[in-house]
Chains A and B, each alone.
Chain A
Amino acid sequence: MATSDKGKSLLICLGAVLLLALSWALPASGFLNPYIVQVLMYVGINMILTMALNLVNGYMGEFSVGHAGFMAIGAYVSSIITVAVLPRELAPWLFPLVLVMGGLAAAAAGLIVAYPSFRTRGDYLAIVTLAFNMIVKSVLENLEILGGPRGYLGMPRLTNLVWVTAWVLITLLILRNLIYSNFGRGIMAIREDEVAANLTSVDTRRVKIIAFLISAFFTGIAGGLFAHVLQFINPRSFSILKSTDMLVMVYLGGVGSLAGSLLGAAIFTVLLEVLRPLGLWRWVLGPLLLVLLMIFRPRGIMGLREWRWLQPVLAFGGGGQGPTAPGPPPA
């Protein structure tokens, strides 16, 4: 068993390296045209967003509807750093650090949202996050120094497919390790039965706040990546509509599933691109899809299931999901 476990880890590492190499080689060789590369980058960014939101809405069973607010904070903070703080020639080298700063800023905002929302039991989070999203957007629209409603520009195009792939892999790894741990089991216990979770000694308030901060952090990272693809951001990019898109990707792919998040983000992003000729009407797609999903398939494609290779080798039956029949650990 030990050797096959090692083999599996090795295979996954190789796969990751191969993926990174491909995401460098394919655009560099001109094999993929820039438009396809651009779409792939959006797919990756949306994957990060979806995994992050899934942690709160899918694994923990809370309902955040304003994650675009965290994305906005990540995008603006990282953009300000690359435009106004860092010297141009240094920016590419410090790009990961810049993204982390954006992520931390988003997490700090997450703390402000999470702290009052999780003080009591109940569904306050939806209302608070909705309000938060609107506040962030209108604050940005009224800050002339950040371009107000016209937006903020001048960022170098620092995001490339390699960075996006790397961050998708990092997010995937960290969230997977989080979910398949004591802490992750606590998160899922909150979804299942909060009172029982408390009575099995889960400090639900602390677990909820930390999970929410982690989610906000990665949403902020995705925002930074997004800003440095487009090289231009404005407050409208981070409206409720963006939050709705994230919700659709989560519930399409499947709640409580990383595999589902990857699938949901990929399918939805590509679908939106394919439907570009529909013009304005394609914005009807998101909300409509959300309503239909909630009615007909509330758990999504991969709801509460996980691909085998995404589960850690030491899972011993995993985070409680999927038909994995675990054996007892070797004595």
Chain B
Amino acid sequence: MRQILEIIDLSHNFGGLRAVSDFSLTVGEGELVGVIGPNGAGKTTIFNLITGVFRIAQGRILYQGEDITQWLSNRITAAGIARTFQNIRLFKDLTVLDNVRLGAFSRHRYSLMESLWRSSNFREQEERLTRRAYELLERFQVAHYAGVPARNLPYGEQRRIEIARALISQPRLLLLDEPAAGMNHAEAEELIRLIRELKEEFSLTILLIEHQMRVVLNLCQRVTVLDFGETIASGPPQEIHHHPAVLEAYLGRDI
């Protein structure tokens, strides 16, 4: 299996607080890997480091063998790493359609000048992009919202649009940040099914953050468990489930 993402000894501090400590993880092509841990364990920080939101001071990140440690966010995304956010970050005043089309910002092939005089190339590409966006919206059963500002949508739909926005850029690696946050049992089940389908449909490699154990254990092939920035366990879900350090982190110690 080819490695698509290699994280090597990644550390990050906020002031004096060590948010991530010597974190290493390898994700192979086509894998579905989970990172779990209690709130504040440093999971989202890892995503922010991978996608260039925070500058990396210690450690290295390789994407398809290339060192992307110092790349800017937009370049990382354009290279094929797309992500969603724990607290949904849609462009709230823009329409659902524009939100999705923005996901493909780096995929357009016309110049600024061409858009000013509306060349035929511009028209073709805009049409193709829009059609693609509609296909995705239909895939997620939200096409009827296309012209509605994103802020007016229910929570669950907003989540799906965020995924659509990530997928339109044709990513190879998809980072999902707590996709089941705020969902009840039935909704989470539905989400698990959806993620499995998407992985096949779009031949994705997925790295997933969760703190709901159930979701990760059902979905992932490999799991890494974080607590206070430290990796406390890693392996297949069945093992992790019974790992004493994991139980302690989640449930506390027996007295």
Contact = CB atoms under 8 A, between A and B. Distances in A.
A124 interface: no
A240 to B, nearest CB: 30
Interface in B125-150: 126-127, 129-131, 134, 143, 146-147, 149
Given A178-B116, A329-B127, A324 B77 contact: no
Interface in B93-130: 93-95, 97-99, 101-103, 105-106, 108, 110, 112, 115-118, 122-123, 126-127, 129-130
Interface stretch (A192-200, A245-253, A265-273): A192-200
Interface stretch (A32-40, A63-71, A314-322): A314-322
Contacts of B131: 328-329, 331
B92 interface: yes
B91 A196 contact: yes
B91 A210 contact: no
B89 interface: yes
B130 A192 contact: no
Contacts of A210: 112
A295 to B, nearest CB: 20
A201 interface: yes
B169 interface: yes
B83 interface: yes
Main secondary structure of the interface of A (DSSP, over half): loop
Interface in A10-34: none
B165 interface: yes
Given A201-B169, A314-B126, A329-B127, A319 B108 contact: no
B39 interface: no
Most buried by A among B72, B85, B115: B115
Contacts of A188: 91, 93-94, 98
A177 interface: yes
Contacts of B94: 185, 188-189, 192, 320-321
Contacts of B115: 177-178, 181-184
Nearest to A193: B89
A326 interface: yes
Interface residues of B, number: 47
Contact of B116 (A177, A203, A318): A177
A325 interface: yes
Given A316-B126, A326-B97, A182 B108 contact: yes
B51 interface: yes
Given A177-B117, A185-B94, A188-B94, A328 B73 contact: no
Given A185-B105, A319-B98, A328 B118 contact: no
B250 to A, nearest CB: 30
A192 B102 CA distance: 12
A90 to B, nearest CB: 29
A204 B127 CA distance: 24
B238 interface: no
Interface in B145-187: 146-147, 149, 165, 169
Given A188-B91, A195-B89, A323-B147, A174 B116 contact: yes
B213 interface: no
B74 interface: yes
Contacts of A323: 147
Interface in A158-204: 174, 177-178, 181-186, 188-189, 191-193, 195-204
Given A191-B93, A198-B53, 20 more contacts: A174-B116, A181-B115, A182-B101, A182-B105, A188-B91, A195-B73, A195-B89, A198-B72, A199-B51, A199-B53, A199-B74, A200-B105, A201-B105, A202-B106, A316-B97, A316-B126, A317-B130, A317-B147, A324-B147, A326-B146
Interface of A: 174, 177-178, 181-186, 188-189, 191-193, 195-204, 210, 256, 304, 312, 314, 316-321, 323-326, 328-329, 331
